[in-house]
């Protein structure tokens, strides 16, 4: 029952539901970016609540770089089937044909081609006028500055210096033809809120979040999991089994694990109280250079 939730989670839940409904009521053709991670799982759960007894009246879109963890893909397909949702999967075919990968092309180019470009292709192809994303303001400094309804030009660009004022819950949803809005229903949630909510609502998550013995190599101070045979090992590297889990999930060669014994959501909540590094520490693409998230976002990254 919802009323069992603590007050702050109840408010966050209601705020997110309001945002989800506002989009469906005012846009022609919305889509939900589904990244399979914990935030997407919460966002999807909120969508199931917002439109009940109807199903969420929009498709899910997953941009598949082909380098996701295998368990993520299995979880994705199982979730869509369990909830009876319309799942659309898009891969940048030119990029895939050219063999673009995180090893040879550098994380920055790879992200640009297989994620950012792929996303733009999928949004254009679907003719979507609004796209939900699971980003939170506490993740990163430039995200802390972003509106809940974030306007994008016809070329998907973000102009951080010229954002619409966003007052009360009066979201300005008007756009011209070709323009789009990205909507972040989880803007005001923190990492801890997400975990507490997953715990309270028993929301299914990818098992990679829970500690288990997994084959990893230590590289540049980070633990990288060898998820399949495509993992390129450097001379002298031998994957060893370590008890690890992931705080954030992306492409496996670019996502670092943390050593942890937290094998249940309760234990994760406890661990999240006491961690001393931010969750995006495990995202290798953020470290390309300072301010690199803002740059990616201006180009259309979610």
Partner 1 sequence: MSEPFTVLQLASEASARAEPDKGTLRFLTCGSVDDGKSTLIGRLLYDSKRLFDDQIVALEKDSKKFGTAGDAMDFALLVDGLEAEREQGITIDVAYRFFATDRRRFIVADTPGHEQYTRNMATGASTADLAVLLIDARKGILSQTRRHATIAALLGIRHVVLAINKIDLVEFDRTVYERIVAAFDEDAGHYGFASRVAIPLSARFGDNVSFQSERMPWYRGPTLIEHLETVDLAPELAPSRPFRFPVQWVNRPDLSFRGYAGTVAEGEVSVGDEIVVARSGHAARVARIVTHDGDRESAAAEDAVTLTLDREIDVSRGDILAPATARPEVSDQVAAHLIWMAEEPMLPGRPYLMKIGTRVVGAAVSELKHRLEIETMKPLAAKTLALNDIGFANLSLAEPVAFDAYEENRTTGAFILIDRFTNQTVAAGMIRFGLRRATNIHRQALTVDKASRALAKSQKPAILWFTGLSGAGKSTIADLVEQKLNLLGRHTYLLDGDNVRHGLNRDLGFTDADRVENIRRVAETAKLFVDAGLIVLVSFISPFRSERRLARDLVEAGEFIEVFVDTPLEVAEARDAKGLYRKAREGKIRNFTGIDSPYEAPEAPEIHLRTTETDAQSMADGIVAYLQTRGYLGG
With CB under 8 A as the contact rule, the residue among 38, 76, 120, 143 that binds partner 1 is 143
Among the listed residues 65, 107, 111, 187, the single contact to partner 1 using CB under 8 A: 187
Determine contact, residues 200/4, Cβ cutoff 8 Å.
Answer: yes
DSSP state of 300: T
Among 70, 174, 218, 232, interactor with partner 1 by CB under 8 A? 174
Does residue 137 touch partner 1 according to CB under 8 A?
Answer: yes
Name the one range near partner 1 by CB under 8 A: 31-39, 134-142, 227-235, 244-252.
134-142
Taking the least distance from each CB to partner 1, the nearer of 164 and 232 is: 164
- Any contact of residue 21 with partner 1 (CB under 8 A)? yes
Binding flag, residue 290, partner 1 (CB under 8 A): yes
Closest by CA position to 32, among listed 87, 97, 100: 87
270 touches partner 1 by CB under 8 A: yes
Q: How far apart, in whole angstroms, are the C-alpha atoms of residue 138 and residue 176?
A: 30
State the Cα–Cα distance between residues 128 and 25, nearest whole angstrom. Answer: 14
**Pairing mode, strands 240-245 and 256-259:** antiparallel
- Supply 246's token pair: 């992931």
Answer yes or no whether residue 6 interacts with partner 1 by CB under 8 A.
Answer: yes
CA dihedral 156, 37, 12, 128 (to 10 degrees): 30
**274 lines the binding site for partner 1 (CB under 8 A):** yes
| 86 binds partner 1 per the rule CB under 8 A | no
Taking the least distance from each CB to partner 1, the nearer of 17 and 87 is: 17
What SS3 class is residue 15?
helix
Q: Does 302 help bind partner 1 (rule: CB under 8 A)?
A: no
Long-range contacts of 285-293 (CB under 8 A, 24+ apart): 285/107, 285/108, 285/111, 285/250, 285/254, 286/140, 288/107, 288/108, 291/142, 292/108, 293/140, 293/141, 293/142, 293/143
User: CA–CA separation, 49 vs 40, rounded Å?
Assistant: 14
Is 265 strand, coil or helix? helix
Q: Judged by CB under 8 A, which stretch of 18-26, 31-39, 87-95, 245-253 contacts partner 1? A: 18-26
The minimum distance between CB 194 and partner 1, in angstroms, equals: 12
Q: In whole angstroms, how close is the CB of 10 to partner 1 at the nearest point?
A: 8
Are 134 and 40 in contact, with CB atoms under 8 Å apart?
yes
Cβ 66 to partner 1 shortest distance, Å: 29
- Cβ at position 59, least distance to partner 1 in Å: 17
Binding footprint of partner 1, residue count (CB under 8 A) = 64
Q: Give the containing element (helix H, strand E) for 245.
A: strand 240-245
Segment 45 to 84, residues that bind partner 1, using CB under 8 A: 48-55
Which of residues 41, 140, 211, 216 is near partner 1 by CB under 8 A?
140
User: Which residues would be at the binding site for partner 1 (CB under 8 A)?
Assistant: 1-2, 6-11, 13-14, 17-18, 21-22, 24-25, 48-55, 137-138, 140-145, 160-161, 163-170, 172, 174-176, 187-188, 190, 192, 196, 200, 269-270, 273-278, 281, 290-291, 294
């Amino acid at each position: 029952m919802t009323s069992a939730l603590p007050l702050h989670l109840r408010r966050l839940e209601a705020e997110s539901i309001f945002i989800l409904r506002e989009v469906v009521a005012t846009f022609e053709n919305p889509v939900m970016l589904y990244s399979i991670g914990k935030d997407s799982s919460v966002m999807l759960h909120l969508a199931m609540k917002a439109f009940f007894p109807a199903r969420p009246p929009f498709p899910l879109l997953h941009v598949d770089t082909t380098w996701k963890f295998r368990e993520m893909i299995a979880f994705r397909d199982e979730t869509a089937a369990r909830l009876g949702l319309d799942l659309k999967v898009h891969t940048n075919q030119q990029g895939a044909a050219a063999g673009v990968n995180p090893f040879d092309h550098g994380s920055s180019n790879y992200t640009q081609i297989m994620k950012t470009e792929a996303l733009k292709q999928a949004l254009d192809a679907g003719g979507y006028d609004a796209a939900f994303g699971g980003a939170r303001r506490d993740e990163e400094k430039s995200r802390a500055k972003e509106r809940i309804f974030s306007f994008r030009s016809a070329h998907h660009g973000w102009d951080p210096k010229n954002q619409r004022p966003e007052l009360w819950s009066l979201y300005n949803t008007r756009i011209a033809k070709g323009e789009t809005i990205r909507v972040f229903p989880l803007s005001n949630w923190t990492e801890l809120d997400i975990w507490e909510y997953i715990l309270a609502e028993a929301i299914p998550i990818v098992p990679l979040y829970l500690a288990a013995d997994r084959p990893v190599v230590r590289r540049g101070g980070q633990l990288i999991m060898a998820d399949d045979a495509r993992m390129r090992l450097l001379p002298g590297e031998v994957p060893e089994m370590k008890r690890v889990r992931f705080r954030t999930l992306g492409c496996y060669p670019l996502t670092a694990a943390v050593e942890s014994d937290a094998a249940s959501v309760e234990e994760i909540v406890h661990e999240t109280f006491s961690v001393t590094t931010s969750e995006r520490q495990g995202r290798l693409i953020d470290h390309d250079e300072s301010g690199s998230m803002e740059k990616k976002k201006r180009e259309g990254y979610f």
